[in-house]
Structure 1
Amino acid sequence: MSKQLFYALGPLIFDSLGVIVFALLLALDVDLIVATAAGTAVACAVVGWELLRGRPVAALQWLSLVMVLFSAGATMLTGDPRFVMAKPSIVYVVIGAAMLRRGWMNRYVAPEELPLIGDVMEKFGFVWAGMMFATAVANLVVAIAFTPWWPAFIGFFPMASKLGLFAVHFAIVQIVANRRRRMGGAVAVE
């Protein structure tokens, strides 16, 4: 089970590293420009690392990098706090839309496990997309109606909700996989 956890958690953290750095720095009251520049540098480093290793860069990594570069540029040019507060909603909607593609979660599962749990992973792909859309709406509500609470919200809720869903997702996948192994069968991935 720890092997499967590492296999799933490693790419998840790696893919989100730029956003994690940005959110942590923002939560620590680091200057917005510094937090944005640091998140951008980390997102660029993630893509660069994959390219240097000769590995394909996942669509979500490219999308994340483009969104970070675009939003970082707009933030630095405008310095407008309303743009900064709305920016995560735009990012969450774009990422949620990308997550509606079937099979995007396959890279988070060991290839030998895919025939066993591929159907469950596909369903959770849509659950993840739904969570991204819900987070986008929540961000807008907090940014507009509860502006003073926005830094605490953005520093805590997106990461906490992702970690919570990851825990539920991982537990359910492990339960289903173990049950199917005991039954001696695999489910074909469509």
Structure 2
Amino acid sequence: MNNVFAKLASDFFSTIVFLAVYLITDNVLLATGVAIAASVAQVIYAHVKGEQLGFMTYASLALVIVLGSATLLTNDPRFVLAKPAIAHFAIGAIMLKRGWMLRYMPQIVAETIPEYVTIAGYAWAALMFALGAGTIAVAWTGDLKLWALYVSVVLISAKLAAFAIQYVAFRLLVTSRIRAARA
């Protein structure tokens, strides 16, 4: 589980840096510049350590550079604020693949309720699209405090709630199926 959180923190490193610097300094341009530098430094550090970088790392770097540069050139924070939405849309699109979630499930879940796992995979995709749309709506307002609250509280809380609901539902469904099979 720690590995999952480490990978998520790595994938969203530039967003975390942007948010932290912005909350400390209240300066969008400084936060954007530091986020761009941090993202580039992250990739260089990984190369120096000989780590393999995935597609998401390079995609995140490209988004940070392009959207961050647009923010710096136009002095409009909405460009960089849209980055998490693009990531959510991309992840949502990947989650539209039928059965993607089965490989992440314990064997008993994958074997007992595969149809529900597939439905949950589509529900996660819908959640990612909804959160991405919400991020765009909040970014469009240009209110950085509202955006900071949204990305640090709403995005995380929605995913944690969905995970908890899924866990309880899968546990109940597996238990029910096993009991029915024994009867």
On whether the aligned pair clears a TM of 0.5, the verdict is yes
Residue 7 (structure 1) aligns with? 3
CA-based RMSD of the aligned residues comes to: 3.8
Q: CA deviation at 1:39?
A: 1.2
Q: CA deviation at 1:67?
A: 0.3
Q: How does 1:64-79 map to 2 (within 5 A)?
A: 64-79=60-75
Give 2:145's aligned amino acid: A
- Does 25-34 or 122-131 show the bigger shift? 122-131
Residues 49-78 of structure 1: per-residue CA shift (max 9 Å, x gap): 332232321221111111001111111222
1:157 matched to 2:150? The reply is yes
Write the distance in 2 (CA, Å) between the matches of 1:33 and 1:68. Answer: 13
CA contact (8 A) 1:124 1:169 kept: no
Give 2:134's aligned amino acid: A
CA contact (8 A) 1:18 1:43 kept: yes
1:36 matched to 2:32? The reply is yes
Residue 25 (structure 1) aligns with? 21
Give 1:61's aligned amino acid: T
Q: CA deviation at 1:123?
A: 6.7
Write the distance in 1 (CA, Å) between the matches of 2:6 and 2:100. Answer: 16
1:137 aligned to 126, 133, 138, which one? 133
- Seen in structure 2, the aligned counterparts of structure 1 residues 59 and 163 have a Cα distance that, compared at 3 Å, is same
Write the distance in 2 (CA, Å) between the matches of 1:43 and 1:123. Answer: 35
CA contact (8 A) 1:100 1:125 kept: yes
The unaligned stretches of length 5 or more in structure 1 are 184-190
Q: CA deviation at 1:102?
A: 7.1
Q: CA deviation at 1:159?
A: 2.7
CA contact (8 A) 1:60 1:95 kept: no
The unaligned stretches of length 5 or more in structure 2 are 179-183
Q: CA deviation at 1:136?
A: 2.8
Q: CA deviation at 1:167?
A: 3.2
> SS of the counterpart of 1:57?
coil
Write the distance in 2 (CA, Å) between the matches of 1:9 and 1:51. Answer: 21
Give 2:144's aligned amino acid: P
Q: Could you tell me the TM-score, scaled by structure 1's length? A: 0.64
Q: How does 1:100-115 map to 2 (within 5 A)?
A: 100=96
Report sequence identity in percent. 28
